[in-house]
């Protein structure tokens, strides 16, 4: 088992004919993901190493049965591409694109929520990896093996780092989900925690947060109320000075809430083991799983 993506995933990449779109679509296919289509307006009828390209998501759904979208187009086109995928009936949309205007994200989030048809992962996220089953996005899959640790993270490279440390400690993963660090993520920690809670393969959950917003605090409450599996938390940004933007639009410390210590405290208060470094996370995982 895994969450969100697996052997049934039929992926369509928006922006497949771009450099990165091609590179990662082929990597995802090499990993074993069914990459059934790509979308580039005006290039319908072409193919990318055998992957058929369509003008619209609607065609990709109709002709190839695509059920998952990966959005790789530049930020000014990304909101439109997500909305098109949803309109075409795609149920899971993974948006890798970074730098989408915040008001676009607001509009997209609220439209998808209103319609209730599709789940968005990201934007500004590395994607999802369900080791041994499917990889959608840019997560370097070769470092991760099948296993029973579910990982959910706001950060891309930090996810790889933590997953890698876990792998070196002998842990594999059910799924690794990057939810992205943007102001309006399509999917929150809570959504993914609920999925891991339901997933029979997942025995331990690692949750990587960072400063800014209150997603970690809300996740802590949810864990306390609804998650019975052990959760290990990690928060990046202890060293960030207040009021400075650290790259992710999300990573802004405002007032007393949203700081790394406040988040770590909130998680610990809800029974989550919080590691101070990626290495501590792996150690905590080891000790919890061996109990």
Partner 1 sequence: MDLLEYQGKQLFARHDVPVPAGKPARDVEDAVAAADEVGYPCAIKAQVQIGGRGKLGGIKIANDRDEAQEHARAILGMDIRGLTVHELWIEGASQIASEYYASVVFDRSAKAPLVMLSTKGGMDIEQVADEDPDAIAHLHVDPLLGFQDFHGRRLAFEAGIDDDVVRPVAAMLAKLYEVFASEEATLVEVNPLIITPEREVRALDAKVTLDGNALYRHGQNALLRDLSAEDPQEVMAAERGLTYVKLDGDIGILANGAGLSMSTLDVVAEAGGTPANFLDAGGGSRADAITAAVEVILSDAKVKAVLFNIFGGITRCDEVARGLIEAFARIQPQVPFVVRLDGTNGEEGRQLLSEARLPGVHTEVTMDDAAAKVVELALGAGG
Handedness of CA 194, 196, 32, 178 (dihedral sign): positive
The C-alpha atoms of residue 243 and residue 154 are separated, in whole angstroms, by 19
**Quick one: 118 or 236, whose CB is closer to partner 1?**
236
Per DSSP, the three-state class of 208 is strand
In degrees rounded to 5, what are phi and psi of residue 259?
-80, 160
Residue 206 burial class via C-beta count within 10 angstroms: exposed 0-12, middle 13-18, buried 19 and up: buried
Q: Do the strands 173-178 and 204-210 form a parallel or antiparallel pair, or are they unpaired?
A: unpaired
DSSP state of 206: E
Tokens encoding 262: 């406040």
Binding residue (CB under 8 A) for partner 1 from 46, 55, 148, 197: 55
**Quick one: 158 or 195, whose CB is closer to partner 1?**
158
The reply on whether position 145 binds partner 1 by CB under 8 A is: no
> Is 248 a residue of the active site?
yes
Binding residue (CB under 8 A) for partner 1 from 139, 151, 262, 267: 139
The reply on whether position 160 binds partner 1 by CB under 8 A is: yes
The reply on whether position 83 binds partner 1 by CB under 8 A is: yes
Q: Which range of residues in 4-12, 28-36, 244-252, 265-273 is near partner 1 by CB under 8 A?
A: 244-252
- Binding to partner 1 by CB under 8 A, coded x per residue (else -) over 90-109, reads --------xxxxxxx-xx-x
Binding residue (CB under 8 A) for partner 1 from 77, 148, 172, 224: 77
Closest by CA to 169, choosing from 151, 145, 150, 193, is 145
Minimum distance from residue 39 beta carbon to partner 1 (Å): 10
Closest by CA to 69, choosing from 91, 48, 51, 87, is 91
- Binding to partner 1 by CB under 8 A, coded x per residue (else -) over 215-234, reads x--x---------------x
Minimum distance from residue 228 beta carbon to partner 1 (Å): 25
Tokens encoding 172: 């594999």
95 close to 78: Cβ distance less than 8 angstroms: yes
Q: Of residues 24, 58, 103, 248, which has the active-site annotation?
A: 248
**Quick one: 105 or 201, whose CB is closer to partner 1?**
105
**Quick one: 197 or 279, whose CB is closer to partner 1?**
279
Find the helix or strand (DSSP H, E) in which 288 lies.
helix 278-290
The C-alpha atoms of residue 268 and residue 284 are separated, in whole angstroms, by 13
Find the helix or strand (DSSP H, E) in which 168 lies.
helix 156-168
Rounded to 5°, the CA angle 200-271-224 comes to 65
The reply on whether position 110 binds partner 1 by CB under 8 A is: yes
Q: Which range of residues in 75-83, 191-199, 265-273, 283-291 is near partner 1 by CB under 8 A?
A: 75-83
Q: Which range of residues in 29-37, 157-165, 169-177, 190-198 is near partner 1 by CB under 8 A?
A: 157-165
- Binding to partner 1 by CB under 8 A, coded x per residue (else -) over 174-193, reads -------x-xx---------
**Quick one: 6 or 80, whose CB is closer to partner 1?**
80
Q: Which residues are catalytic?
A: 248
């Amino acid at each position: 088992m895994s969450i969100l993506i697996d052997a049934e995933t039929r992926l369509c990449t928006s922006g497949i004919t771009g450099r990165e779109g091609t590179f990662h679509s082929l990597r995802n296919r090499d990993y074993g993901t069914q990459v059934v289509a790509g979308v580039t307006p005006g290039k319908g009828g072409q193919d990318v190493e055998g992957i058929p390209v369509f003008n619209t998501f609607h065609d990709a759904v109709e002709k190839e049965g695509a059920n998952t979208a990966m959005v790789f187009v530049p930020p000014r086109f990304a909101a439109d591409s997500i909305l098109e995928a949803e309109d075409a009936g795609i149920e899971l949309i993974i948006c890798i694109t970074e730098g989408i205007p915040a008001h676009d994200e607001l509009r997209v989030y609220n439209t998808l929520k209103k319609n209730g048809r599709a789940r968005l992962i990201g934007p500004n996220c590395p994607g999802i990896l369900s080791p041994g089953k499917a990889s959608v996005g840019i997560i370097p899959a070769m470092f991760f093996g099948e296993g029973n640790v579910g990982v959910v993270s706001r950060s891309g490279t930090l996810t790889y780092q933590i997953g890698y440390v876990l792998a070196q400690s002998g842990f594999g993963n059910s799924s690794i989900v990057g939810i992205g660090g943007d102001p309006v993520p399509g999917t929150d920690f809570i959504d993914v925690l609920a999925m891991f809670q339901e997933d029979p393969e997942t025995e331990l959950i690692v949750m990587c947060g960072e400063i800014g917003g209150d997603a970690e605090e809300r996740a802590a409450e949810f864990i306390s109320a609804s998650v019975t599996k052990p959760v290990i938390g990690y928060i990046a940004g202890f060293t960030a000075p207040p009021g400075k933007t650290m790259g992710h639009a999300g990573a802004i410390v405002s007032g007393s809430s949203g700081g790394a210590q406040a988040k770590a405290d909130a998680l610990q208060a809800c029974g989550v083991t919080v590691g101070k470094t990626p290495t501590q996370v792996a150690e905590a995982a080891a000790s919890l799983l061996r109990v």
